[in-house]
Amino acid sequence: MEKKLNLLLADLVVEYHKLQNFHWYVKGKSFFTLHGKLEELYNSVNKSIDEVAENILIIGGKPLGSLKEFLAHSKIKEEEDRYVCGSYILKEVITDFQYFLNLIKELKIEADEKNEYIISGLMDDLMKEFAKILWMLRQSEEEK
């Protein structure tokens, strides 16, 4: 469980920086909408980072702590420093948040099987948050 929680932690840290990068480099018609929303998202992810790390400690584990470790363990793809349009950002963030939702569901199942109720409760909270964000992002995509 600790290993998978550290994977989630590493992914959240990389996602935080990816969202911040997008916040700085968003360009185009959706700038005003996305610039503010991306700040909300990276602040939300930052809160999740702290909650996951503290819960790893609560169960007697050791959270990863260095950028080197986060990058080595994360499955989230970093983003280059370049201007990008809103549709690209939405596609990337939707893909990442769907990945998070799947990982959180796996952790929830594992926590329930191991009677780790504190972790299970945290995963419930994260699942609700990430599912709502994912829904909102999908609603923001342009119609095809």
Handedness of CA 34, 23, 90, 88 (dihedral sign): positive
d(CA 1, CA 6): 9
Domain count of the fold of the chain: 1
- List the domain range (segments joined by +) for residue 8: 2-140
d(CA 98, CA 13): 16
Pick out the chain residues at pLDDT < 50. Answer: none
d(CA 141, CA 91): 8
**Could you tell me the two tokens for 124?**
């419930």
CATH number of residue 75's parent domain: 1.20.1260.10
CA nearest to 9, candidates 66, 64, 62, 78: 64
Look up the pTM and report it. 0.95
